[in-house]
Amino acid sequence: MLDFLSAPWFARFSEELAQVGPDPGAPPLALGQVVTGTAHGTVCYTVLMDATGVKLLVGSTEQAAVTLVEDWETARAIVAGTPVAELLAAGRITLRGDANALLAGQVRLVTLGRSLAALQRETRTETEGQKGP
């Protein structure tokens, strides 16, 4: 099992993203995520999706068109499978940036979510296991 948001978790996440094929017809999307309240403070990263494929940038959301900001418990809920839309509606996630970019990338995000199912099964999210990159 990989501790959520640990360096090995990010390495595995990057490997999974590299397996996602290019989608020349999809609009580019840079989706950032900021998780507050981890054992090592705030952790951030950006998933970069364009016509050539999908890449991970750990430690920054500078390139993100839209960023999801949530606390540790909410991030754990996402990994456990709670739909992001449900957490947004409940006010547990703050959206920064261009919400239209997120809407335009919905199809790509669904495909991406399916491809990360293996990582989800390999991720440990217990509070005592929280680690930063």
Task: Tell me what the mean pLDDT of segment 6-27 comes to.
Answer: 88
129: its two tokens: 């296991």
Q: What is the pTM of this model?
A: 0.88
Whether the Cβ atoms of residue 93 and residue 68 lie closer than 8 Å to each other: yes
The predicted structure's pLDDT at residue 130: 47
Q: Closest Cα partner for 30 from 43, 44, 15?
A: 44
Q: Closest Cα partner for 127 from 69, 83, 73?
A: 73
Tell me how far apart the alpha carbons of residues 70 and 91 are, in angstroms, rounded to a whole number. Answer: 10
Mode of pairing for the β-strands spanning 123-124 and 41-50: unpaired
Question: Across-strand partners of 3?
Answer: 124
pLDDT digits (tens, 9 = 90+) for 107-120: 888 877 777 788 88
Domains of the chain: 2-124 (3.30.1050.10)
pLDDT digits (tens, 9 = 90+) for 58-110: 999 999 999 999 999 999 998 888 888 899 999 999 999 999 988 888 888 88
